[in-house]
Amino acid sequence: MHNNKPVCVSHAKKKLFFGCFLLSVILFSAGLTGCQSVQNNESGYSKAREFSVDAKSHDVYVESEFAPLKKVIVSQSEFTDQIMPLEQVYMPLDEIESFGGEVVGDNVVFHFDADRIAKMEAERAALTAILEKYGVEVVMPRKLTDKERELATDPMGPTHGKGLTNEFVRDPFVVVGNHVIESNFRKEYRRFEALTGRELFPKNCDYVAMPVADLTDEEKGPFLEGGDVIVYNKQVFVGNSGYGSNSAGIEWLRGHLAPYGYEVTEVRLQGNILHLDCAMSLVREGLMIVCEESFADGIPEPFKDWELIKVPEKDAIHLAVNGMAINPDVYITDIEFKDSIGKELEDKGITVEYIDFSATRVEAGSIHCSTQPLLRVNE
């Protein structure tokens, strides 16, 4: 038995060496693929955790608001009558009719309009044509199902009978780097919107849904809406107007992204502005479009020295700021603002693509609201 001991020790050393070697290969491979671990969440999407800085190999990656756009979701144009409590209405009451609504008791009702939907569909088709002209791949969410429409009118359903929308794909999701967050809405009639777009996100992105919002208190949440989120490299700015995202939602996002090196800053909004993307738009490095009146604490620090194209609140209310950069040299805006925003952009050497988005703007959203970038990266 004594003579067998060296053989056993030698065999153990070989097994230990092989095990260490195998572990090293696995860890090295994980570093090359940009993932620490992959596991499926309940919706079947792969959940990839970043392990290295080589994240741009993913099919989903948003670097900034003006990094060249490669792939994007463009919204459908669907809605039913929507009921919104007066305290949730952010636009001036004397502007309600211009947004297709009317005051009924303690609520504002925004009415279904088949003609406006047809016009919105034409606007989205025109937007798609512009994007494809610049080589951007465009995909669209599915339409609402009959069952979803039925539930929208059920007082006991998820929207409590307050209606249904499927028209602004920016808000149900937040995309930062290769992280996709399914958001939480304050407004009941918007709570089906994520269902129509989930399947468009590739399985190699980090897809998570926020914790279910506590609806027993208007302020608890957590609430987070994609239109409030502006991405600038490793800095993420999130608006808080009191009508969309709240501090609890912003804090949740901060905790989720901090391990990956992102800094999340809350931006307090004021006046008649719903989301941060209605108050500021990054055109290229050093140039932004902004409604200064919308910021309770002034323009966020990193942008205070940037060149500004200033927009008055009366125009911002009607979505003047809600355009979008295709890349640092090309910007899309509504033709309504050609003589103001458009002219200033052109004077600064930006190629401006104009589009009539007037029907969509009646629904309180515009070009930025109607898109959700999947791939925005510098070469």
Residue 4: per-residue pLDDT: 40
Per the prediction, the chain carries an average pLDDT of 85
Model pTM score: 0.83
Listed residue (266, 288, 273) closest to 95, CA to CA? 273
Give per-residue pLDDT as tens, 181-219: 999 999 888 989 999 999 999 887 899 999 999 988 878
Those residues whose C-beta lies under 8 Å from the C-beta of residue 248, and which sit 6 or more positions away, are: 219, 220, 221, 222, 223
Report all structural domains of the chain as residue ranges with CATH numbers, in order of start. 59-79+113-376 (3.75.10.10)
Listed residue (54, 46, 62, 63) closest to 205, CA to CA? 46
24: pLDDT strictly greater than 60: no
Alpha-carbon dihedral angle through residues 310, 315, 319, 324, given to the nearest 10 degrees: -30
User: In the structure, what pLDDT confidence band is assigned to residue 90 with cuts at 50, 70 and 90?
Assistant: confident
Give per-residue pLDDT as tens, 223-250: 999 999 999 999 999 999 999 999 999 9
Those residues whose C-beta lies under 8 Å from the C-beta of residue 38, and which sit 6 or more positions away, are: 46, 47, 48, 49
Q: Which of 84-93, 191-200, 234-243, 312-321 has the lowest mean pLDDT?
A: 84-93
Give per-residue pLDDT as tens, 253-309: 999 999 999 999 999 999 889 999 999 999 999 999 999 999 999 999 999 999 999
Phi, psi of 82 (to 5 degrees): -125, 135
